[in-house]
Amino acid sequence: MDLIAGRIQGYIIALPGVLTHVRSGAIRAIALASDRRSQVMPELVTTVEQGFPRIIGASWFGPATRVGTPPGRLARLIEAFQATMTDPAIRRRLEDAGLDIPADTGADSYRRLIREDFERWDRVARRAGLRQQ
């Protein structure tokens, strides 16, 4: 709201949080912190395209369970999630909200995404000299 009201000049936020305001023209999106363009807003250039290849940040969502969840329950959760994510109506609603849905929503792909994100931010924290307290 501060950006729309003109109290601040810039803001970094995930696209779904501001998509309606960008589409209405109330605010202007400058770049997507990614190495590939959004399916939702393909006209929005990326930070990589603008010459900042190390500015990558993504929000991701997905199911999680505690360690030790019985394999049968885990299999049912994965099956239900896959059924949900392949439903065209649900995908359309998520995309309308500003979320890019990957083609592969399987468990292995999700684990890889999480691992890569943790590795990326671990490097950032180490470069900045941050320590866990």
Least Cα distance to 10 among 98, 21, 2 occurs for 2
What local confidence, expressed as pLDDT, does residue 84 receive?
Answer: 92
Low-confidence ranges of the chain (pLDDT < 70): none
pLDDT at residue 24, rounded to an integer = 94
Domain residue ranges of the chain, discontinuous segments joined by +: 1-59, 61-133
pLDDT for position 131: 83
pLDDT of 120: 86
Q: Distance between CA atoms of 45 and 29, rounded to whole angstroms?
A: 9
pLDDT digits (tens, 9 = 90+) for 84-110: 999 999 999 998 888 888 888 888 888
Q: What is the CATH number of domain 1-59?
A: 3.40.190.10
Helix (H, G, I), strand (E, B) or coil at 87: coil
The predicted structure's pLDDT at residue 96: 86
Handedness of CA 35, 46, 1, 20 (dihedral sign): negative
pLDDT of residue 7: 93
